[in-house]
């Protein structure tokens, strides 16, 4: 049985946090090492970044129904590109 499409605003929030983690980290003054930042960028660019890869502050803002899903999976589930 197919799952219903999740709330679009929660979809957009999850995608935004995963795509824009770098900007949000600066906004919340979260310090990331250069190595961690590069690793997160590579994961994001490949669509494999998950909420669990993010700093705790960003994870606390993340919609619960998408925790542990990759960016690619969330996009598919939400019907986004």
Record the pTM. Answer: 0.91
Answer whether 4's CB lies under 8 Å from 64's CB.
Answer: no
Quote the domain boundaries for residue 40: 8-78
- Residue 1 above 70 pLDDT? no
- For residue 1, being part of any structural domain is answered with no
- Residue 4 above 80 pLDDT? no
Strand partners, 70: 50
- For residue 71, being part of any structural domain is answered with yes
Q: Summarize the confidence of residues 5-27 as an average pLDDT.
A: 95
Q: How many domains does the chain have?
A: 1
Give the separation between CA 14 and CA 23, rounded to whole angstroms: 14
- For residue 52, being part of any structural domain is answered with yes
pLDDT score at 2: 62
pLDDT score at 5: 75
- For residue 64, being part of any structural domain is answered with yes
- For residue 26, being part of any structural domain is answered with yes
Residue 43, Cα to own-chain centre: how many angstroms?
Answer: 10
**What percent of the chain clears pLDDT 70, i.e. is strictly above it?**
98
- For residue 68, being part of any structural domain is answered with yes
Residue holding tokens 């999976």?
Answer: 73
- For residue 2, being part of any structural domain is answered with no
């Amino acid at each position: 049985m197919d799952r219903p499409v999740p709330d679009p605003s929660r979809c957009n929030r999850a995608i935004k946090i995963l795509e824009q983690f770098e900007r949000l980290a600066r906004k919340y003054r979260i310090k990331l090492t250069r190595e961690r930042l590069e690793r997160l960028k590579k994961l994001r660019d490949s669509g494999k970044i998950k909420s669990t890869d993010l700093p705790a502050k960003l994870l606390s803002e993340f919609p619960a129904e998408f925790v542990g899903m990759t960016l690619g999976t969330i996009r598919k589930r939400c019907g986004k590109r």
